[in-house]
Amino acid sequence: MKIEAVDFFYLSMPEVTTEGDGSQDALLVRVTAGAHCGWGECEASPLVSIAAFVCPMSHGACRPVSMSVLGQPIDGPEDIQRIAAKIELDSMDLLQAPHTWSGIEIALWDLLGKVRQEPVWKLLGYNQSYPKLPYASQLFGDTPAQTYELASEARAQNFRAVKFGWGPIGRGDLQTDNDHFHAAREGLGKDARLMVDVGQIFAEDVDAAAARLPMLQQVGALWLEEPFPTSALHAYAALAAQSEMKLAGGEGAHNLYMARHLIDYGKVGFVQIDTGRIGGIGPAKLAADYAVSTDVTFVNHTFTSHLALSASLQPYAGLRAYEICEYPFSPKPLARELTLNHLQRDADGYVHLPDSPGLGIEINTEAIRRYLVNLEIKAKDTILFSSDLQTF
């Protein structure tokens, strides 16, 4: 088989706001080869990721992603790896390339799974897929009272783990942060697991982050996530050295190296990988292998649709000890409607990856039509991309 077509569907809510909710738009990717097709999703900024696929070549090491993908043979996982290596070399100077490639790579695994009639986790070498305990991933409220309500609501919905992120934390005084942390714990009750994500708010200020450690330990937080930018490894290491609680990070990793760096140099205890950014399922699986070998816990990162959720769980589906998983708690309608089926929690609150071929997720083409963004890119008098030419 050869890769005959790669189609991008830029979807968006009618209104996009500045809240830190990544489910407000989506870039869906469909790859066609032979009689089969697979679906994937790229994380963030659809227009820019499409541009990285269709842009004119700048030079030999700055080729559009399309040049390394279209027409390539695709008969097994080794072909995915070969194409990935080609992109790493031929699109070396195209910074956005890993985000674009991530969605395509996921779609290729989905496609191969359909061809072989096997779930992706089997193609990855796992004999079994173990249930994961989802944590409800949501933003802090604007006030501690709101945070309390959100925590109570998640608990009422039978979530046994909840992560709060972003919002006001680190933007005001210590007392406000403390109030939010305590409100979260009170809303959850004392048995549920609580994680806190501060969205890189402290830049490189280790002391500012350290000032929150006693509060977080007091409410029994499992981890502190992203106190600093993904690459501020020295800051991660300095904070880890003075924290009994483990640090978490990695969603910004756009290659396997960055995931390794957070483990080797940043000393995180949880490495969080988004298959929609790191280059897809292949490098995410290698990151999971590396986590195993270094006694660090692998966790998926995902905040959008259940297609992205399924993709993000495959790399560590067979790793029983890594039980916890991120689970979008209240995504926008777009992210919810994008798929016909969903990874529902069972009575004990666990999620199970489908045994059906590929990613096991059915796309809702009706939703695509509803949320599709009208986009056209023309350069050098040629239409490089037009949503009008898309079929589904």
Is 81 a residue that touches a second copy (CB under 8 A)? no
Range in contact with a second copy (rule: CB under 8 A) among 29-37, 70-78, 83-91, 128-136 = 83-91
Please state the closest distance from residue 290 (CB atom) to a second copy, in A. Answer: 11
| Four-residue CA torsion sign, 87, 229, 308, 339 | negative
Using left for φ > 0, alpha for ψ between -120 and 50, and beta otherwise, residue 21 falls in beta
Closer to a second copy by Cβ: residue 190 or 380: 380
Residue from the set 12, 129, 297, 314 that interacts with a second copy by CB under 8 A: 12
- Structural contact between residues 373 and 46, judged by C-beta atoms closer than 8 angstroms: yes
Is 44 a residue that touches a second copy (CB under 8 A)? yes
- Structural contact between residues 305 and 26, judged by C-beta atoms closer than 8 angstroms: yes
Is 63 a residue that touches a second copy (CB under 8 A)? yes
Cα distances (angstroms) measured from residue 190 to each of 18, 183, 184, 201, 220: 32, 12, 10, 27, 9
**Distance of alpha carbon 215 from alpha carbon 376, whole angstroms:** 50
Give burial (CB, 10 Å; 0-12/13-18/19+) of 241.
exposed
Please state the closest distance from residue 121 (CB atom) to a second copy, in A. Answer: 26
**Distance of alpha carbon 25 from alpha carbon 18, whole angstroms:** 12
Cα distances (angstroms) measured from residue 304 to each of 41, 314, 334: 9, 16, 9
Closer to a second copy by Cβ: residue 200 or 275: 200
Query: Dihedrals φ, ψ of 337, to 5°?
Result: -80, -15
- Structural contact between residues 375 and 387, judged by C-beta atoms closer than 8 angstroms: yes
**Distance of alpha carbon 26 from alpha carbon 159, whole angstroms:** 26
Is 87 a residue that touches a second copy (CB under 8 A)? no
Residue from the set 252, 269, 318, 328 that interacts with a second copy by CB under 8 A: 252
Please state the closest distance from residue 321 (CB atom) to a second copy, in A. Answer: 25
Please state the closest distance from residue 330 (CB atom) to a second copy, in A. Answer: 14
Closer to a second copy by Cβ: residue 57 or 133: 57
Say whether 288 sits in a helix, a strand or coil: helix
What DSSP character marks residue 340? S
**Distance of alpha carbon 312 from alpha carbon 277, whole angstroms:** 10
Is 70 a residue that touches a second copy (CB under 8 A)? no
Is 232 a residue that touches a second copy (CB under 8 A)? yes
- Structural contact between residues 268 and 236, judged by C-beta atoms closer than 8 angstroms: yes
Please state the closest distance from residue 93 (CB atom) to a second copy, in A. Answer: 4
Residue from the set 95, 145, 174, 340 that interacts with a second copy by CB under 8 A: 95
Is 89 a residue that touches a second copy (CB under 8 A)? yes
Please state the closest distance from residue 129 (CB atom) to a second copy, in A. Answer: 29
**Contacts with a second copy in 361-390 (CB under 8 A)?**
373-381, 384
- Structural contact between residues 193 and 159, judged by C-beta atoms closer than 8 angstroms: no
Residue 98: both structure tokens together: 């890993």
Closer to a second copy by Cβ: residue 20 or 220: 20
Residue from the set 2, 4, 5, 58 that interacts with a second copy by CB under 8 A: 58
Is 94 a residue that touches a second copy (CB under 8 A)? yes
What DSSP character marks residue 205? -
Closer to a second copy by Cβ: residue 33 or 150: 150
Is 240 a residue that touches a second copy (CB under 8 A)? no
Closer to a second copy by Cβ: residue 234 or 320: 234
Where does this chain bind a second copy (CB under 8 A)? Answer: 10, 12, 16-22, 24-25, 43-48, 51-52, 54-63, 85, 88-89, 92-96, 98-99, 166, 199-201, 203, 229, 231-234, 252, 254-255, 257-258, 260-261, 264-265, 277, 373-381, 384
